[in-house]
Structure 1
Amino acid sequence: MDRTAKADLVSTLNGVFNHSAVVVVAHYKGLTVADMQKLRSQMKQAGATVKVAKNSLAGIALEGTDVASIKPLLKGPTLLAYSGDPVAAAKVAVDFAKTNDKLVILGGAMGTTSLNPDGVKALASLPSLDELRAKLVGLIQAPATKIAQLSTAPAAKLARVFGAYAKKDEAA
């Protein structure tokens, strides 16, 4: 890799670190190419990205960013998983690590907050942004349906009362 390509990679990684909500660092030693492709596709479906970069270049790109706390984790064969959604990259990485013991989560960062492996797992257990939006829409819609039910309930009760009186008169 020549000097300009390295400079481009550093500037690209710096932009990624500045704009990502979460960055997860993991060892991938022993993963097959098929496993790595599977991980990349799962990350892509969740709106996250996996990047394998030389640790020294990633360390340079980390300087001056909020996630600079992950620099000590960059030892050995590491990969970086990142996303704009604070939960997506962590969730996919933790789920993939459960089924494949070759992926070892070292830690990560969410903004200026440094995360150990347990912190990444806790972050992965949170609902995603889309799930939270769905719950919020459900909560907003619930009162409207309750109001509609309450407004139609008295009319339905009146109709049943009149119906009962009509049947009573017919029987008599």
Structure 2
Amino acid sequence: MARPDKAAAVAELSERFRSSTAGVLTEYRGLTVAQLKELRRALGEHATYTVVKNTLTAIAAKEAGVDAFDGQLSGPTAIAFVTGDPVEAAKGLRDFARANPQLVIKAGYLEGRTLDAAAITSLADLESREVLLAKLAGAMKASLTNAAYLFAAPLSQAARAVDALRVKRETETPAGQPEAAPEQAEQAGAETTEG
């Protein structure tokens, strides 16, 4: 690999492997340029689909510490490098492959873990990160609302009880007479029992 252009290609691929959270290796034999363009759009904005040379890709993957493609690099090869939500890219690949059986999903990696084609399809069946976060937020809001209700109910009952005692006390004290202080009430009670 003495040629500078090959060394630059390997360095670029190595960097793409390192900077992506996921990658999917595909064989695109039989797809037209227009179909590849359509596939790139289907992957979403956080994924790129790059046609690669097998030998250079093997070297770059090894340099980046990615072993998911060992033994898989043959035929016309392209990789979907994912920097965002891997579910969106997996759905785009799965749906495109259903409509265009020439696209073969071979293998992939996700945050350092190796994935086979079945795992990538399973990943596509998940809901997107945004949907899962929205559901989590909704569940948390409902839980907090329920907790607030459960917490507020005893407090409001206590407040009503205190208010009822205040009203009762006001109605029992004769109008115009000041309410006896607690010490005076105790002395009055003691004198009544002695006399």
Give the TM bin, normalised by the shorter chain: 0.7 to 0.9
Structure-2 residue corresponding to 1:73: 72
Contiguous gaps of at least 5 residues in structure 2: 157-195
The residue that corresponds to 1:94 in the other structure is 94
Q: Is the partner of 2:130 in helix, strand or coil? A: helix
- 8 Å CA contact retained: 1:25, 1:80: yes
Relative to structure 2, which stretch is displaced further, 108-117 or 75-84? 108-117
Q: CA deviation at 1:30?
A: 0.6
1:107 is aligned to 107
Once residues 129 and 6 of structure 2 are traced to their aligned partners in structure 1, the CA distance between those partners, rounded to angstroms, is 34
Structure number with greater CO (CA < 8 Å, separation at least 6) is: 1
Structure 1, unaligned stretches of length 5 or more?
A: 155-172
Q: What SS does the aligned partner of 2:64 have?
A: coil
**Aligned residue number for residue 53 of structure 2:** 54
Confirm or deny: 8 A CA contact 1:22 1:89 kept in the other structure.
no
Match of 2:163 in 1: none
Following the alignment from structure 1 to structure 2, what is the Cα–Cα distance between the partners of residues 3 and 133? 47
What amino acid is the match of 2:77? Answer: T
Deviations 1:26-77 (A, max 9, x none): 11011111110001112233x2111111111111110133422213111000
Using the TM superposition, name which of 113-122 and 30-39 deviates more: 113-122
RMSD (Å) for aligned C-alpha atoms: 2.4
Using the TM superposition, give the Cα deviation of residue 141 of structure 1 relative to its aligned residue in structure 2, in angstroms. 1.8
Give, in angstroms, the shift of residue 147 of structure 1: 5.5
**Which is worse superposed, 125-134 or 27-36?**
125-134
- Corresponding residue SS for 2:30: coil
Look up the equivalent residue of 2:69 and give its one-letter code: I
Give the CA deviation at 1:106.
1.0
Q: Does 1:136 align with 2:136?
A: yes
Percent identical among aligned pairs is 38
- Give the aligned partner of residue 119 of structure 2: 119
CA contact (8 A) 2:52 2:78 kept: yes
Structure 2 distance, partners of 1:25, 1:74, is: 8
Select between 101-110 and 140-149 the one with higher mean Cα deviation: 140-149
Query: Which string of whole-angstrom CA distances, capped at 9 and with x for unpartnered residues, describes residues 105-147 of structure 1?
Result: 1111223322221111112112222222212221222234446
2:26, 2:77 within 8 Å by CA — same for their partners in 1?
yes
How far 1:149 sits from its partner (Å)? 6.7
Determine whether 1:29 maps to 2:29. yes
Q: Amino acid of the residue matched to residue 126 of structure 1?
A: L
Q: Distance in 2 between matches of 1:37 and 1:64?
A: 29
Counterpart position of 2:81: 82
1:149 & 1:99 partners in 2: Cα distance? 51
3-state SS of 1:115 partner = strand
Aligned length: 152
